């Protein structure tokens, strides 16, 4: 059954390994043979009339929102804001004339998000919840809901729900962009890229031994670590750092790579692990420069790069994918670094201290 661990030692690894299936399943659920999105027309129409989209979420779902913003803006040209629900609830954002709210929540029960939803209902703002639990509170109370179709996620650290959220955001973005007759939405080969992403994840999964060795060598006995990236790799760096913190207890920061030199580079000491994400063609050369800056201060750098941008000695090389969807593959390497670091340290990977799967208090 879907909620059993099967032969896996931990749910987290099982759920990481299920991700190719999640992508295939989402493509089947929400795209037709030709790759055209099949989304409730009320949702597409509502979104296409919006002059601004506001995304609210917490934790990993917030990070999926940051990636979603990039995809939505690229395909629909509708300005999109992302906010922590916990902040927006009591400091409501200034609204445009025709706002549309999207709530991202694996559980659909996060109290911080519910506060914003309640206020939105009062103000009659159209609300859509993307959740993995279709009967959840946030799904029932919003005007519209879409299922993430990721199957039960048991490990406290979220993995497959994150890539499902990004995928559903991309499906929505393509649907709305096509409705608005945006060329970039029509040209966006979502179905093909989801199939490629599934293959790319399989390929990352096949490098598990190498990731475990690198984790053992550079991360397990480290007190702190950094993930760095530019462009869409920056929000992925935030999620990657959160994953490592949650399950390994190593203090990790995700950083926009070029910002390090404006202050935080003072934390780099001989041996500090820095994991660099290199998937943005526009800034790949600049990333290499940023990597040299930390190497010069003694950092131990692990590189994760798309094949077309990779150099001979990069550590993890990823299948090429549309830039906007590259997080679907790159995050998996980070999930595995977190998993193996935690496991090698002998920690309870699925139930990190102090954390709950869903937080129903503000």
User: Is residue 19 within a helix (H) or strand (E), and if so which, with residue range?
Assistant: helix 19-30
CA–CA separation, 165 and 149 (whole Å): 10
The separation between the first and the last C-alpha atoms of the chain, rounded to the nearest angstrom, is 33
Tell me the closest approach of the beta carbon of residue 211 to ligand G6P, in angstroms. 21
CA–CA separation, 244 and 333 (whole Å): 11
Tell me the closest approach of the beta carbon of residue 88 to ligand G6P, in angstroms. 14
Beta bridge partners of residue 144, listed in sequence order: 128
Question: Which positions are catalytic?
Answer: 357
Tell me the closest approach of the beta carbon of residue 86 to ligand G6P, in angstroms. 10
Tell me the closest approach of the beta carbon of residue 77 to ligand G6P, in angstroms. 27
Tell me the closest approach of the beta carbon of residue 298 to ligand G6P, in angstroms. 33
Comparing CB distances to ligand G6P, the nearer of 296 and 355 is 355
| Residues near ligand G6P, by CB under 6 A | 58-61, 105-107, 110, 113, 156, 158, 355-359
Show the tokens assigned to 352. Answer: 């990190």
Dihedrals φ, ψ of 186, to 5°?
-60, -40
Comparing CB distances to ligand G6P, the nearer of 130 and 317 is 130
Comparing CB distances to ligand G6P, the nearer of 61 and 290 is 61
Show the tokens assigned to 152. Answer: 């039960």
163 half-sphere exposure, CB direction, 13 A CA radius? 34
Are the C-beta atoms of residues 159 and 335 closer than 8 Å to each other?
yes
Comparing CB distances to ligand G6P, the nearer of 113 and 207 is 113
**DSSP calls for 140-183:** HHSSEEEE-------SSS--HHHHHHHHHHHHHHHHHHHHTT-H
């Amino acid at each position: 059954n879907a909620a059993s661990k099967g032969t896996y030692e931990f749910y987290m690894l099982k759920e990481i390994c299920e991700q190719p299936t999640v992508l295939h399943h989402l493509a089947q659920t929400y795209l037709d043979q030709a790759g055209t999105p099949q989304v409730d027309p009320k949702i597409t129409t509502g979104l296409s009339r919006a002059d601004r989209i506001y995304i609210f979420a917490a934790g990993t779902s917030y990070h999926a929102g940051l990636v979603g913003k990039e995809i939505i803006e690229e395909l629909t040209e509708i300005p999109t804001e992302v906010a922590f629900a916990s902040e927006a609830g009591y400091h409501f954002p200034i609204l445009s004339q025709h706002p549309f709210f999207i709530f991202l929540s694996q559980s659909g029960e996060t109290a911080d998000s519910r506060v914003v939803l309640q206020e939105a209902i009062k103000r009659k703002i159209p609300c859509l919840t993307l959740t993995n639990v279709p009967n959840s509170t946030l799904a029932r109370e919003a005007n519209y809901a879409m299922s993430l179709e990721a199957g039960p996620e048991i490990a406290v650290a979220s993995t497959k729900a994150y890539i499902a959220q990004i995928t559903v955001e991309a499906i929505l973005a393509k649907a709305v962009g096509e409705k608005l007759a945006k060329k970039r939405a029509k040209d966006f080969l979502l179905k093909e890229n989801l199939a490629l992403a599934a293959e790319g994840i399989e390929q990352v999964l096949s490098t598990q031994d190498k990731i475990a060795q690198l984790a053992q060598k550079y991360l397990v006995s480290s007190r702190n670590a950094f993930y760095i990236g530019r462009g869409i790799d920056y929000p992925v760096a935030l999620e990657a750092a959160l994953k490592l913190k949650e399950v390994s207890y190593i203090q990790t920061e995700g950083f926009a790579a070029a910002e390090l030199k404006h202050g935080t580079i003072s934390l780099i000491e001989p041996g500090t692990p820095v994991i660099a994400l290199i998937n943005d063609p526009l800034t790949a050369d600049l990333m290499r420069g940023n990597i040299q800056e930390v190497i010069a201060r003694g950092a131990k750098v692990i590189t994760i790069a798309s094949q077309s941008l990779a150099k001979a000695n990069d550590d993890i090389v990823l299948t090429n994918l549309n830039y906007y969807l590259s997080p679907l593959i790159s995050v998996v390497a980070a999930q595995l670094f977190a998993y193996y670091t935690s496991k090698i340290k002998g920690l309870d990977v699925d139930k990190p201290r102090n954390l709950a799967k869903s937080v129903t208090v503000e």
